[in-house]
Structure 1
Amino acid sequence: MNASKYRPVIQPALKNRKWPDQRITKAPVWCSVDLRDGNQALIDPMGVETKLAYFDLLVKIGFKEIEICFPSASDTEFEFCRRLIEENHIPDDVSIQVLCQAREHLIRRTMEAIKGAPNVIFHIYNSTSPAQRKYTFNKSKEEIIKIAVDGVKCIKECMKDLPEEEQNKIRLEYSPESFSMTELDYAVEICEAVKNEWGTSPDKKIIFNLPTTVECYTANVYADSIEYFSEHISDRENVVISTHCHNDRGTGVASCELALMAGADRVEGCLFGNGERTGNLDIVTVALNMFAEGVDPELDFSDLPEIADSYQEFTKMDIPPRTPYAGGLAYTALSGGHQDAIAKGLSARDKMPKDAVWDVPYLLIDPKDIGRKYEGIIRINSQSGKGGASFILEHNFGYAVPKAMQPAVGNLIKSESDKAQRELKPEEILHFFEKQWLENKSNLEIIDLATTMVGSSGSEEVVSVRGVIKCNGEQISIGAKGNGPLDAFVAALRETKIPNFNITAFHEHSVGEGSDTSAIAYVQIMEENGKQVWGVGKSSNVGRAGIAAVVSALNQ
């Protein structure tokens, strides 16, 4: 790989930059470009009906500015714009944005498309970088400025044919395309010329969109560029500085966030980062990053799975599983250490007030806040730890495995995952757990058992147990008394050839509701040789659950 053919893009360095000390404390103006920039990047662009459904989705999320199309590019784009207007899809508080090159015939066609719209942002652009000036246009800096100014003049001329009320609802956005590769002083110069031709006031702010058309430098350099522009453009109070970040270097989100710190007011991007080449800025990620720091993004992603499903249906694009917040694995822990920490954090939160500050390890935000479910957080493979499988068993199926037993459960499930050479589904985890501890009858099985309360001894009840067990294939009659069913059963076993043991731990809880309630018992026994094993029993009879757990332990 020969790196000598490349050179860094150098922009003037700020001597006293302010942006590193700033924080994002409020939502910017959001502008979705899914229907234009995103759509043009699709292998199969969306049809009109799909774009109408997508527009409605964007409105529902809360976007107040939506770039809908390039009306002069095709009849389909023109028709979509007209249908939005004529069928009253556009709420009064939403502005549609239309894109147009700074060329007269395209401007006139675009003006026809927007007639009757409630609020419009007319977005014109022309390329300004040295390479574009040299290779694409073969024009000087002055000639490139003239293209931009003439475009504004044409818009103003066309507006004269509209009713005054409609004229007042048109705002101007100008993009020096390839801003990221344009000399900063020249970018300021061409934007000044455009602003002077258009005119501004507090009620007539102009939008300057400063795109990383190609992301060609680190995010801090983009922030420097935004701060430099903000400090050098005149009439700043009547200027809206907008970002439009692409992701060629994989740092589109960082570029946007640092640009907001540097003074940008507005953000253009797409849901889940759709766009040319490596994509546009992912608005979902930036918005939820704000949310994670306690800033209201003013966009509603409370049902992110539904939004993700709609996006994939409309665009025929997949959301990669490692995508922040929305990816299928975004809230999945496969590492044992992560699983254990998550399980403990979630357990602790169950005892906290609902508005307690979120601090669960490894989870930046509460998945419930964006419509995700805990069931998918922990997934089990051969790398999983002792707590992961137990978390699944408890939160999916109600088995509250004692902490001391969790290593045994974890080792079993890891072994089964290793055999399968894949991740195990929750239902498979339940199957292996129940097969090992509830269905195992390899050594000992109860054939018949009856318990009878026969009296009391002091404050304790005396219970008699009578029955038949099968031990290593041999049926044996048993009987004994104790201070409860479990104590009597253990006493009865001591009269057989089964090796002596002691119960060293006992846990019990119920699962289910009403007539479906069952008791779950977990018993740890220690044999004479010091070996400790766990057993699990389940029964609608509380007394029998403990007995079943002892049998389960002896079958280990």
Structure 2
Amino acid sequence: MSTMTASAPVSRSTQDKLIIFDTTLRDGEQSPGVTLHIQEKIEIAKQLSKLGVDVCEAGFPVASEGDFAAVERIAKEVGPLMVNREKLGKPMIICGLARAVKNDIQRAYDAVKHAPLHRIHTFLATSDIHLEHKLRISRDECIARATEAVRFAKSLCNDVEFSPEDSGRSDPEFLCKVLGAVIAAGATTLNIPDTVGYNTPDEYGRIIHYLIQHTPGADKVVWSTHCHNDLGLATANTLSGIMNGARQVEVTINGIGERAGNTALEEVVMALYTHPKTFPVYSHIDTQQIFRTSQLVANKTGMAVQANKAIVGANAFAHESGIHQDGVLKHQATYEIINPSVVGVPSNSLVLGKHSGRNAFRTRLTQLGYHLSEAEFQRAFERFKRTADSKKAVTDTDIVAIIDDELGALSQTPAIELRNVQVTSGTGVIATATVEVVSTDPVDGTESVQVDAAISRNGPIHAVFKAIERLVDVNVTLLQYEVRAVSGGSDGDALGQVSVKLCDVQLPHIHFNGTATDTDVVLASARAFMAAINRMILHSRAHGEKAANGENGVAAKTGVEGAEVIDRRKVGV
């Protein structure tokens, strides 16, 4: 069957609602080098709710105590929220992932049950290569285990999703048997993962079409896509799945995820937006929240958005060719199929300055979609005034960067706070940095002030980093350092954003990132480095969140014959 080219245009009255299932906090966090603490996950989940996401897969509760706590808090604190969800008329469904194992399923339910709307998502591999080499079970055993898992999940929760892992390489006839059995056991959503990103759009579309046509009870469930980007085809495969009957898509912000990533939410949503008569579905995503959500996820995960990334990349709406520039100036639609404002890209045409007052700043924040508490506004306004003193014109792009920076700082209580930085550097002079920090005792809350200095032949930023390391008594490896201009400045007074990624020498497989924004790049570097250090300290305190069988994030064996040991960063759905 043809996939995307054969379907005739459809009218809105015949379109179905497309369920947007976001797995940024589960599959997205499996990206190499990504480590999010609980408060960051809650912050991202709140933004996903504002964005209009239908289902949030908040994590893998059985993986560790920390994962369980994060999913549980998201269920309690984000699950009931209705901010910016008037069109949907209901809160976001909070979902937890579980293997087809009773203990996993119970753990997932215990974490998500606090949300008004909650779902259990259980999975089991169905491809022969997985059955033979990983699970070491027969096809009949696979059907029995999948059915038993779904039946148990259904006894706890009405909303149950099942995924046959590695569907893209599974025997279609056998898949129909498995899926028919789990439908009979109570599954309400069937997700078809192209786990290793192997399929082409035609192949994936044919799989979805075949399964819907040949699975007993197919009309009783919602069919879902879950595509990986190993061949760069995740979005194309997802759209092909939609054209062949899928009515849920599993996606991540910025397409982050295992290996080459997942289908990008923003790409699917804007494909539907720009082709409303082509696709037989619509979504309730608030497109003006897309850019802010993208930036939030990039800042929290430390995974920078590539400049030429569709929809949210820095070059997505940039035009360098003279012919293109001339065309856009004459009429925007000549070379732009999407107006940047539609996805919430801030404009730089309106500026504020040091003479702008509180009311003007508050009004601009409202226009940009921010609704801050009084404490948040006060902190943001003070930061705005400091920026305006050193930068003649503060643009919308600057404001967005400032707000994200300040709200990020407010989202957690730092273990160590950077109080003061002084540097001396120059031609033929060894750079010297003096740093003052304040540390807070996690037990009694007492503060202590410490000052130290360091020298470096590699410049002032390196000297600052060395001084901070000495003060906090850690030994880290700097893995990545990036600086970029948030916006231009007429006199070289651009606002700079610095991103760093580091790891503890003793735990090189766990990476911590930090970002900070300032007109002073040295100060921004110091604050970004300190943010990463704080994440490392908070992580070490929390782990206490040790996994069930050790300190490497690997949960204990289940005792079920053939059940694999699980690492939450290697979940193959």
TM-score class, shorter-chain normalisation, is 0.5 to 0.7
Q: Residue in 2 aligned with 1:315?
A: 301
Q: Deviations over 1:1-32 (max 9, x none)?
A: xxxxxxxxxxxxx4x87972255764511011
Tell me the percent identity. 26
Q: Residue in 2 aligned with 1:185?
A: 173
- Cα shift at 1:300: 1.1
How far, CA to CA, are the matches of 2:217 and 2:111 in structure 1?
31
Q: Residue in 2 aligned with 1:117?
A: 115
How far, CA to CA, are the matches of 1:132 and 1:222 in structure 2?
19
Q: Is residue 287 from structure 1 mapped to residue 269 from structure 2 by the alignment?
A: yes
- TM-aligned CA distance change 1:344 to 1:18, over 3 Å: closer
Q: Residue in 1 aligned with 2:22?
A: 32
Q: Residue in 1 aligned with 2:345?
A: 372
SS at match of 1:20: coil
Q: Residue in 2 aligned with 1:62?
A: 52
Q: Is residue 300 from structure 1 mapped to residue 298 from structure 2 by the alignment?
A: no
SS at match of 1:325: coil
- Cα shift at 1:425: 6.9
How far, CA to CA, are the matches of 1:303 and 1:94 in structure 2?
16
Q: Residue in 1 aligned with 2:6?
A: 20
- Cα shift at 1:334: 1.4
Given that 1:52 and 1:84 are in contact with CA atoms closer than 8 Å, whether structure 2 keeps it comes out as yes
SS at match of 1:35: coil
Q: Residue in 2 aligned with 1:171?
A: 159
- Cα shift at 1:105: 2.1
Q: Residue in 2 aligned with 1:552?
A: none
CA RMSD of aligned residues (A): 2.6
How far, CA to CA, are the matches of 2:136 and 2:9 in structure 1?
42
How far, CA to CA, are the matches of 1:210 and 1:55 in structure 2?
24
SS at match of 1:116: coil
Aligned residues: 340
**Aligned with residue 132 of structure 1, among 130, 133, 139:** 130
Q: Is residue 331 from structure 1 mapped to residue 331 from structure 2 by the alignment?
A: no
List gaps (5 residues or longer) in structure 2.
Answer: 82-89, 350-394, 396-486, 492-573
How far, CA to CA, are the matches of 1:311 and 1:18 in structure 2?
31
Given that 1:288 and 1:297 are in contact with CA atoms closer than 8 Å, whether structure 2 keeps it comes out as no
Given that 1:98 and 1:121 are in contact with CA atoms closer than 8 Å, whether structure 2 keeps it comes out as yes
Q: Deviations over 1:228-276 (max 9, x none)?
A: 1111122233110000111111011111111101111110110110100
SS at match of 2:61: coil
- Cα shift at 1:59: 0.3
How far, CA to CA, are the matches of 1:254 and 1:190 in structure 2?
26
- Cα shift at 1:288: 1.0
Q: Residue in 1 aligned with 2:97?
A: 99
How far, CA to CA, are the matches of 2:488 and 2:91 in structure 1?
46
- TM-aligned CA distance change 1:86 to 1:297, over 3 Å: closer
Aligned AA (2:255): G
Q: Residue in 2 aligned with 1:387?
A: none
How far, CA to CA, are the matches of 1:299 and 1:17 in structure 2?
25
- Cα shift at 1:180: 0.5
- Cα shift at 1:290: 1.4
Q: Is residue 233 from structure 1 mapped to residue 215 from structure 2 by the alignment?
A: yes
How far, CA to CA, are the matches of 1:287 and 1:81 in structure 2?
26
- Cα shift at 1:143: 1.3
Q: Is residue 362 from structure 1 mapped to residue 335 from structure 2 by the alignment?
A: yes
- Cα shift at 1:87: 4.0
How far, CA to CA, are the matches of 2:180 and 2:275 in structure 1?
36
TM-score, length-normalised on structure 1?
Answer: 0.57
- TM-aligned CA distance change 1:251 to 1:17, over 3 Å: closer
SS at match of 2:317: coil
Q: Is residue 80 from structure 1 mapped to residue 59 from structure 2 by the alignment?
A: no
Aligned AA (2:344): G
SS at match of 2:95: strand
- Cα shift at 1:374: 6.8
How far, CA to CA, are the matches of 2:329 and 2:489 in structure 1?
16
Q: Higher relative contact order by CA 8 Å / sep ≥ 6: 1 or 2?
A: 2
Given that 2:150 and 2:162 are in contact with CA atoms closer than 8 Å, whether structure 1 keeps it comes out as no
TM-score, length-normalised on structure 2?
Answer: 0.56
SS at match of 2:161: strand
Q: Residue in 2 aligned with 1:381?
A: none
How far, CA to CA, are the matches of 2:326 and 2:489 in structure 1?
17
